[in-house]
Each structure stands twice: as structure tokens, then as C-alpha cells.
Amino acid sequence: MNQVLANMCLAIPGMITEEYTENGMKMAKVSFSGVIRTVCTEWVPEAKIGDYILSHAGTAISVVDPKEAEEILSLLDEMN
């Protein structure tokens, strides 16, 4: 896990479990397979508890789109 978090340009998906504000900044507690880290959510105003965000260097850079995520998998799975 630490190896993953230390990797510079990788962003990893985690689930928002709690939202709060710190020094005027929107923050969240995010679970990465049970490991909880704090992540800044200033750039994903649409994110809510239960959503998966992609976290990079302590910031959320996107909310994972569940519809797009499943569509591509089922499309690939049906491929001949």
C-alpha cells in the first residue's frame, strides 16, 4: 500500500468515508482497501460519501464514473 501511495504519477481509487473542512479546505477521509488516508477534495465538488475518487499526492483529481467503469468491462467481456 505504501509503495502504491509513494508512486509519483499514479492515482489510486479509494472510497470517501467522511467529509470535513480543515483550514478552509475541503477534505475527506478515504478508504483504500481499509487503509484510511486524508485527501483534499477541493477539485471534486460533486463527490459525496460512498463515491470512489482517484487520489494523487493527497488530492482527489476525479470521481470514478461507475457507469463508464462497468460499460467498458462488459463491452470487453462480450468481445469475441
Residue 6 binds other proteins, judged by CB under 8 A? yes
DSSP conformation class of 31: E
Q: Which of 5, 19, 28, 30 binds other proteins (CB under 8 A)?
A: 5
Element (H, E) at 77: helix 66-77
Residue 72 binds other proteins, judged by CB under 8 A? yes
Sign of the torsion formed by the C-alpha atoms of 45, 55, 33 and 21: negative
Q: Which of residues 45-64 bind other proteins (CB under 8 A)?
A: 45, 52, 54, 56-59, 61-62, 64
Specify the residue for cell string 460512498. Answer: 50
Residue 39 Cβ, how far from other proteins at the closest point, in Å?
A: 8
Residue 38 to residues 49, 67, 74, Cα–Cα distance (Å): 13, 26, 32
Q: Which residues bind other proteins (CB under 8 A)?
A: 3, 5-13, 15, 23-25, 32-33, 40, 42-45, 52, 54, 56-59, 61-62, 64-66, 68-69, 72-73, 76-77, 79
